[in-house]
Structure 1
């Protein structure tokens, strides 16, 4: 089957979702609503069913690994099988629960993790301690997955924003994947913001390596405290900058969104992060209007409805239901 219509990032997201559903459907507390949501997800794209079946294949393969596996008789799978196991490794959480011996083989080979966590913050900021002892703070509407491998700790930031305090382990790097890039650390404090295919990394303490290409596993650009790196999916390299003394990137940890004299084109990705449906710009002229202010992250819908009261704009609705910001043209000058 040809999947060229999916980007690498979309393909990985589908694989992660398939692993999540494998895990949830086996859980005792899986609800009827979740099972209905799974059926809808399964029917949404033929690739969903294919990826889910691949997860089940991993379980079945692990079930047939020798129960007496020891360090002296680790199985060497063919190269193609190794690649498949690594690609679908998020499903290992299931195998680890049900098949400890088979999972041990995968752990020793570096294909499978020994721990998997799925985190979702909903409409409240969430604080979580990961299985490795690292701490993560999730902004509203944030979703991420954590898997612990023998050679690295891996986070996939599906959407939203998270602040990390990583437990130091120089032999076990902590890697955050967002869009098509990654941030690699061994122990530090940093923030990662993601909206659609845009990513911004802000470093507070320590150092990190940021790459806009996740395949660049050992390279990247090193940030020091007070630096930021921004990129979009497909960028050759990230854009680096120095934060200023009153940078507002982490205001969300206090429930605030601070817009400091930004154009609407710059502000909308930050605003849309908190909306179920994005607010759109009618044209570049509208996008050039500047906005400032401090807003409650739980009241961003109110901000949108109030924009015509504070800016020379009006709101219209597209046929698909999305809201459109339009600039009010000034009256013609009197001759």
Structure 2
């Protein structure tokens, strides 16, 4: 390995920097075009050392990819007058001093990466939730057939199902998501001072730091927990605050448990679920195991321009077990028509599943 690369890797290995500083350095290194196997292995080790490293890197990488990187463009950082982010100015100056003192002048690509890393550090500092006032509501949405990953302002991640919408409101004292359509899987950064709330219809989920899924169906809301513990409670109709502790309409779910709530907010008895089946949509596959047809149709409609509906409640209760790519839902409908007592009608408003005439 050349001297230039060793110098950069030594800088990245310094543990006195904050996770945000380290993440910005790694992003600059990985995008420099001068990586080595040793460097990439070092990055993998750093990433696996702590969950905070993962979230810091996601945040830094997101900022990097949103920058307009034009070859030859000069990147500069200007002091910020706001005292609340003064420590970030200090971090930027420290990074730039290291770069100037340690890097050979001929290492142009890595020097440019370091300059952008300084800009990154400044931007990450500005975005840190303990330095900014309350923010306005931010809407995130996915389209038909799209699984969309969103990095939230606190570093938490939301993976949206196709045709889903969330509205986020974050501030120094608040972390709240409203799921207005579809579903999402949340990986929440731990913050005991700021509980993380997700609301869907009359259901509210409250966590401190965990991984869970919330999905809206016509029949109600499903909450599935893969890591940690969540509290599920009913919101009284028309009121933003949850019901009190005396209410019987609340439940605590642990990892491996899920619960369904009715349209009126009543919470069903918790049960265990198969995480591989429930989370397969995140990889683009749809797995159904003894699933009611009406739930199957709601799921595949997230991937289809031409929607499907069911004629009759009895047919909607038919159980289905199947596995397919999310882009191959038509094959499922053909298989159902060939093997089950139903017919598929092509109508001007989409496809209609009818019970087969006896």
Give CA deviations for 1:208-247 in whole Å, capped at 9, x if unaligned.
1112326316653111111112113213x21132224565
Aligned residue pairs total: 218
- Tell me, what secondary structure is at the counterpart of 2:278? coil
Question: Of 135, 152, 159, which aligns to 1:114?
Answer: 135
Structure 2 unaligned residues grouped into runs of 5+: 1-132
Which residue in 1 is equivalent to 2:22?
A: none
Q: Return closer, same or farther for 1:218/1:147 CA change in 2, 3 Å cut-off.
A: farther
Which residue in 1 is equivalent to 2:163?
A: 141
CA contact (8 A) 1:212 1:232 kept: no
Q: Give the whole-Å Cα distance in 2 for the aligned partners of 1:206 and 1:324.
A: 41
Question: Of 209, 218, 222, which aligns to 1:200?
Answer: 222
Which residue in 2 is equivalent to 1:269?
A: 298
Q: Give the whole-Å Cα distance in 2 for the aligned partners of 1:140 and 1:288.
A: 24
Q: Give the whole-Å Cα distance in 2 for the aligned partners of 1:246 and 1:168.
A: 22
Question: Of 141, 149, 152, which aligns to 2:174?
Answer: 152
CA contact (8 A) 2:257 2:273 kept: no
Q: Return closer, same or farther for 1:217/1:277 CA change in 2, 3 Å cut-off.
A: farther
CA contact (8 A) 1:229 1:239 kept: yes
Q: Give the whole-Å Cα distance in 2 for the aligned partners of 1:135 and 1:263.
A: 30
CA contact (8 A) 1:227 1:240 kept: no
Give CA deviations for 1:147-187 in whole Å, capped at 9, x if unaligned.
11443211111212211111111111111111221111111
Does the alignment pair 1:323 with 2:320? no
* Pairs within 5 Å for 1:172-321: 172-196=194-218, 198-213=220-235, 215-216=241-242, 219=245, 220-235=250-265, 237-245=266-274, 248-276=277-305, 278-316=307-345, 321=349
1:328 Cα shift? Answer: 1.6
Q: Give the whole-Å Cα distance in 1 for the aligned partners of 2:275 and 2:176.
A: 31
* Pairs within 5 Å for 1:162-177: 162-177=184-199
CA contact (8 A) 1:145 1:156 kept: yes
- Aligned Cα root-mean-square deviation (Å): 2.7
- Structure 2 length normalisation: TM-score? 0.54
Q: Which has the higher contact order (CA 8 A, sep 6+)?
A: 2
- Tell me, what secondary structure is at the counterpart of 1:170? coil
CA contact (8 A) 1:159 1:196 kept: no
Q: Give the whole-Å Cα distance in 1 for the aligned partners of 2:329 and 2:165.
A: 19
Which residue in 2 is equivalent to 1:10?
A: none
- Structure 1 length normalisation: TM-score? 0.58
Q: Return closer, same or farther for 1:229/1:185 CA change in 2, 3 Å cut-off.
A: same
